[in-house]
Amino acid sequence: MVRTGGHSIGLGNPPRQVLLALDSRFRLEPEEREALARAARDASPGEWEEVIEEALFRWTAGVLCHHLREAGVEPPAALQEEYNRVALEAVMAEAELRRLAPALARAGARVLLIKGAALKPLVYRNPGLRPADDSDWVVRSREDWEAAARALEALGYAGPGGEWEGFWERGEFVVELHRSALGDERIQARLPAAALGAVDAEVWARARPSPLGEGFLVPAPEDHLLILCAHLMKHNMEPGIWFTDLEALLASSPGFDWEAALSRARAWGLLRPLAYALRGLGAAGERPFGAPAIALPPAAGRALAEVRPTRLDRALLALAGRSTRLRGEKEEWERPPVANLLWLSSQPGPVAKLRLLGEAAFPRHEVMRQIYPGYRPALRGWYLLRRAAGLLRLAVRLAGRAGRS
């Protein structure tokens, strides 16, 4: 992994490794584009096939297509097709959000956009880079949820029939409503009890207008970074578009307040996800090949260096970083699902750790509805048995993989 000169960067690394090291980068330096072009020329058809499959799985095929074009390389047809698909969907999604904004404003609904829905118009600009299968909205109160639901229904959306959370669909466009500013109610169960109300109150208090229209807000950059890190923890710290989001947000926030971000991470119980995400990005500790050049203030670097992974965490992070998939599992288990185990080291004491494992294995009703669309509380016993069987099968497969490693 040589980094001593522009023409030597990446030499010695297989073409597949170079291509997949740079496929999730938001922005490449000139010497990195040279390394990418060299790897693209040297890659065999078999290596290209592996790279395309992995980039599609990581949601970074559009990003890789863009970087190859900037490096003067004609991207493979499959990457171009994915770039064009993502761009078309992004343009249509933005148009739909702009159509919805006045109706939400008239209904008096306040909606916070997070993750891809917030980042695409703010930091990506190029519509072919950031895919999304839904638009994540956060509403703060029952009144806002009802107002948003009325506006969506009036504009032709089909909803979940009065549920507090759920998906609203109109054609191919999907809106997912959340109550938590962190975006996924499962993450709430991993936070200290004292942080639960504070997170939502503080994120909403600092929210800013979105360029998509009056009905929408977006989080402050420091808050959004923590939301993205918590989301990345949910995605097992695996390679992919989630790291592109982090780099894009930081690259587009020149006045980023690291002191504020660290203070909130400590208060909200998200310091470990922040540290692990930034280490995966190469922004804390040694900068591996393919990592972006993100300069942390010395105080922030020292604070993150104090978050030391446990022995278990180091093994889990190494497992998560491998580009190997569990074939035949549902999508969220195709990568080794280590997220719940990574949260263990953030829990104070054995009782809290056991409570987290119990909730993760057999979650409450609203989370079970997200996992199993046909879930009904009256049939909880059946679904718990179904989940237990799936977890047992998964554990056996992971144990076999660990043994072979």
Q: Kindly tell me if the per-residue pLDDT of 340 is higher than 70.
A: yes
CB-based burial, 210-241: b 16+ in 10 Å, e otherwise: bebbebbbbbbbbbbbbbbbbbbbbbbbbbbb
Could you tell me the pLDDT band of residue 393, with boundaries at 50, 70 and 90? confident
Rounded CA-CA distance 126/46 in Å is 30
What is the percent of the chain where pLDDT is above 70? 91
Could you tell me the pLDDT band of residue 164, with boundaries at 50, 70 and 90? low
Q: Which amino acid is at 25?
A: R
The more confident residue out of 112 and 325 is 112
Rounded CA-CA distance 94/154 in Å is 19
Q: Give the DSSP letter of residue 309.
A: P
The residues, ordered by sequence, that sit 6+ positions from 95 with a Cβ below 8 Å of its Cβ are: none
Q: Kindly tell me if the per-residue pLDDT of 6 is higher than 50.
A: no
Nearest residue to 36 via CA among 46, 51, 49, 58: 51
pLDDT at 10: 59
For the ranges 289-293, 329-333, 334-338, the lowest mean pLDDT is seen at 329-333
CB-count burial class (<10 Å; 0-12, 13-18, 19+) for 348: exposed
Q: Kindly tell me if the per-residue pLDDT of 4 is higher than 60.
A: no
Task: Please write the tens of the pLDDT for every residue from 249-297.
Answer: 999 999 999 999 999 999 999 999 999 999 888 887 677 788 898 889 9
Could you tell me the pLDDT band of residue 324, with boundaries at 50, 70 and 90? low
Query: What mean pLDDT, rounded, does the chain reach?
Result: 87
Q: Kindly tell me if the per-residue pLDDT of 45 is higher than 70.
A: yes
CB-based burial, 182-198: b 16+ in 10 Å, e otherwise: bbbbbbbbbbeeebbee
H, E, C per residue of 113-147: ECCHHHHHHHHHCCCCCCCCCCEEEECCCHHHHHH
SS3 state of residue 295: coil
Task: Please write the tens of the pLDDT for every residue from 96-117.
Answer: 999 999 999 999 999 999 999 9
Q: Kindly tell me if the per-residue pLDDT of 8 is higher than 80.
A: no
The structure tokens listed for 117 are 């829905």
Q: Kindly tell me if the per-residue pLDDT of 187 is higher than 90.
A: no
pLDDT at 162: 52
pLDDT at 80: 98
Could you tell me the pLDDT band of residue 384, with boundaries at 50, 70 and 90? confident
Could you tell me the pLDDT band of residue 367, with boundaries at 50, 70 and 90? confident
Could you tell me the pLDDT band of residue 235, with boundaries at 50, 70 and 90? confident
pLDDT at 30: 95
Rounded CA-CA distance 303/310 in Å is 17
CB-count burial class (<10 Å; 0-12, 13-18, 19+) for 396: exposed
Task: Please write the tens of the pLDDT for every residue from 236-248.
Answer: 888 899 999 999 9
Q: Which amino acid is at 153?
A: E
Torsion angle, alpha carbons of 123, 125, 129, 133, to 10: 80
Q: Are 137 and 148 in contact (CB under 8 A)?
A: yes
What is the percent of the chain where pLDDT is above 90? 53
SS3 state of residue 76: coil
Q: Are 236 and 309 in contact (CB under 8 A)?
A: no
Mean pLDDT of 366-384: 79
Q: Are 244 and 196 in contact (CB under 8 A)?
A: no
CB-based burial, 102-138: b 16+ in 10 Å, e otherwise: ebbbebebbbbbbbbbbbbbbbbeebbbbbbebbbbb
